[in-house]
Structure 1
């Protein structure tokens, strides 16, 4: 009976875009990209063989059939929302958050008291892990991950990560005067840094050293600490490394020479996505990382 219905994701994207008359505003509400909303609406139109929107330079306008369909879809989604809400317990008792180690220890853990104030009475378990998970099997509610490829529509982007070499202030001054000194320095690397270095050297048009003096660590924090205490260079990931830059313990010799290295994004376990505690967590995460971006922008502006 329901075999020919479009998917719920397509209907949600259409409903948000139709209600707000904007792909951009719909994308912000649903935590996806505007292009993802546009693609999903187009897929729905092709599925139905009906034009739902008139696309204008200033925004969107519903067709007559689109406006009629929007009323029915909105009503159906509201019924589903109420039924799902009434089926669930009033709130979650705990949140299990799995995060890549660089965020786990340096960014999230020191500020968990903020989250507990925002969602009082809830248990929070923070797990440092970078693996791809079966979230239902692992009973993980929210997974914060890093990827170099563009995130898909189901994932919520938190921030882009950029990379540039960092080192002690005295060494940075020498490198600025004679950039070739950088090639002579031992490099302290964490997992994934080899590709990052290759990309950075290629962007500069420099030939990477044939034999590299490097030491490997599991986490970028370990590499940063090693560089802070001795000679050598490591990759600093912007804007997360702003703590070190603000303190002056590390410096980027060429702050404008950076590469886009990848994206930090969030995946939510579908069975808990509608809980208000999860939505509060998502908003808190976005605000937390937006703070890092703002601090880095202010740091660069101050020179």
Structure 2
């Protein structure tokens, strides 16, 4: 049975089955009602199956027609999808793994710049704390916070990191009395993160427990922005908020963290132009002053 010869009739059949009316189907198909009726008769003869039950207003589908409609509709949908996919412009994909706080605090407001630099790329961000296993994961690079020593990979430093206290500008005059807001360092920050207890011990200050504790960097900074208290902030994450005067640094003292931000790629990817563009752009983001 040569189905290809019946493709026009099958297409008309789908429209009739959805409209249940030859006249309405003919309007949609830009055919005469008699032409639609003729095509359906041809299809019934070819299949040797009755497809329609004529009624006073339109038609009804036989059980065989209902079964045929489901299969043909699915087939035409797959054909349309295949045509759209074939005609679609080829999109290159760049998959970037990163610790979530860097994406949300440093990069998310600057992505238009990156899009302008890599206009033909679809950029995927994947939250990942542990260093990427490039042999097992389909990821092109990793913005990581660590010591820069990664087996079978190339690590290029982006920036060091320091920590200092911040609070909202409208409560700055009360900075010495403000409650302490603590970020309970997650996997991404250990063992690089520090707590208020570390801060107090380092500068030989009285031990005062934190009153509010959050397990996410963004929530910690939002609490500080809202004047809830003062928080220990990572410079690279908080400097956009300081620039926008949503937070204010308290004093000049700071602690340098033992780890740094790195741009990590597999050794076989070091010559890729798009990764070089991304690295230079990331360097510029981290290098921007407050």
Give, in angstroms, the shift of residue 190 of structure 1: 4.2
Indicate the residue corresponding to 1:126 in structure 2.
125
Residues 234-293 of structure 1: CA distance to partner in whole angstroms, max 9, x if unpaired?
111114312221222222221x111112311111022322211111111111122112xx
Give, in angstroms, the shift of residue 125 of structure 1: 0.7
Give, in angstroms, the shift of residue 198 of structure 1: 3.3
What runs of 5+ residues in structure 2 fail to find an aligned partner? 1-90
Indicate the residue corresponding to 1:260 in structure 2.
256
Per the alignment, in what secondary structure is the counterpart of residue 117 of structure 1? helix
**Counterpart-to-counterpart distance in 1, 2:96 and 2:223:** 29
**Counterpart-to-counterpart distance in 2, 1:101 and 1:212:** 24
Per the alignment, in what secondary structure is the counterpart of residue 109 of structure 1? helix
2:273 to 270, 276, 279: 276
Q: TM-score, normalised by structure 1?
A: 0.57
Q: State yes or no: 1:217 paired with 2:211.
A: no
Q: 1:246 to 1:283 in 2, by over 3 A?
A: closer
What runs of 5+ residues in structure 1 fail to find an aligned partner? 1-91, 297-303
Q: 1:112 to 1:171 in 2, by over 3 A?
A: closer
Q: 1:202 to 1:186 in 2, by over 3 A?
A: closer
1:191 to 179, 185, 195: 185
Per the alignment, in what secondary structure is the counterpart of residue 279 of structure 2? helix
1:232 to 229, 234, 239: 229
Residues 199, 259 of structure 1: 8 Å contact kept: no
Kindly indicate which of the two structures has a greater share of residues assigned to helix.
1
Per the alignment, in what secondary structure is the counterpart of residue 172 of structure 1? helix
Residues 190, 223 of structure 1: 8 Å contact kept: no
Per the alignment, in what secondary structure is the counterpart of residue 195 of structure 1? coil
Per the alignment, in what secondary structure is the counterpart of residue 237 of structure 2? coil
Indicate the residue corresponding to 2:93 in structure 1.
94
**Counterpart-to-counterpart distance in 1, 2:120 and 2:142:** 21
Give, in angstroms, the shift of residue 163 of structure 1: 0.6
2:283 to 276, 286, 302: 286
Per the alignment, in what secondary structure is the counterpart of residue 138 of structure 1? coil
**Counterpart-to-counterpart distance in 1, 2:246 and 2:284:** 26
Residues 195-254 of structure 1: CA distance to partner in whole angstroms, max 9, x if unpaired?
343332223211322x44232222x12111112224212111114312221222222221
Following TM superposition, where does structure 1 have runs of at least 4 consecutive aligned residues deviating by more than 4 angstroms?
A: none
Aligned residue pairs, count:
192
Question: Quick check: which has more Rg, 1 or 2?
Answer: 2
**Counterpart-to-counterpart distance in 2, 1:137 and 1:186:** 42
Residues 106, 240 of structure 2: 8 Å contact kept: no
Indicate the residue corresponding to 2:163 in structure 1.
163
**Counterpart-to-counterpart distance in 1, 2:266 and 2:111:** 21
Q: TM-score, normalised by structure 2?
A: 0.59
Give, in angstroms, the shift of residue 158 of structure 1: 0.4
